[in-house]
Amino acid sequence: MDHLMEAFSVSRGFHLPMDHGPVAEGIRRLASGSVVPCKDAKPFTIEEANTRLRDLPGWVLQSGSIQKEFRFKSYLAGLDFAYSVGKIAELENHHPDLFIGWRRVKVVLSTHAIKGLSQNDFVMAAKSEVEFLKQTQRDS
């Protein structure tokens, strides 16, 4: 697991490993943000959430959450990814639901404190994207 800690410590800068075009710019911008307390915030409307999803390809709005299933070449690669996302979640104090299956991990985000979606969910989704891009590049 030493490679996980090394990859995780590098990930705190949230730089994408290579240029991934205009879509990556939105992910970079979101991933560079930090999760903030939002106890008194109002949940995003469906329209606001859909607008923010434009920067997160493959993420869908479902049942008051945003979610995406990531696919991997091996079961262990999926576990490595889930571990990395879990470490980020602990540092940010914003925890997704993670569902691990054979060569796939589903990430589900919502803000329980406001019973809906907040900017924090989109920041964590972008940070998950960065981790996925790093891992798939490393595993190539």
Task: Give CA separation, 53 vs 6, 24, 62, 72, 120, in Å.
Answer: 30, 13, 12, 22, 13
CA distance 45 to 22: 26
pLDDT tens, position by position, 107-120: 999 999 999 999 99
For the entire predicted model, the pTM comes to 0.83
Specify the fold of 2-139: Gyrase A; domain 2 (3.30.1360)
The pLDDT score that the predictor gives to residue 21 is 52
Residues in contact with 15: Cβ distance below 8 Å, sequence separation at least 6, in sequence order? 28, 130
The pLDDT score that the predictor gives to residue 13 is 42
Provide the residue ranges of all domains of the chain, joining segments of one domain with +: 2-139
Q: Is the pLDDT of residue 57 over 90?
A: yes
CA distance 129 to 110: 16
Give DSSP secondary structure letters for 42-95: PPPPHHHHHHHHTTSTT-EEETTEEEEEEE-SSHHHHHHHHHHHHHHHHHHT--
Nearest to residue 138, comparing CAs of 63, 68, 77, 75? 77
Q: Is the pLDDT of residue 4 over 60?
A: no
Q: Is the pLDDT of residue 60 over 90?
A: yes
The pLDDT score that the predictor gives to residue 16 is 47
For 124, the 3-state DSSP assignment is helix
Dihedral angle over CA of 73, 75, 79, 85, nearest 10? 40
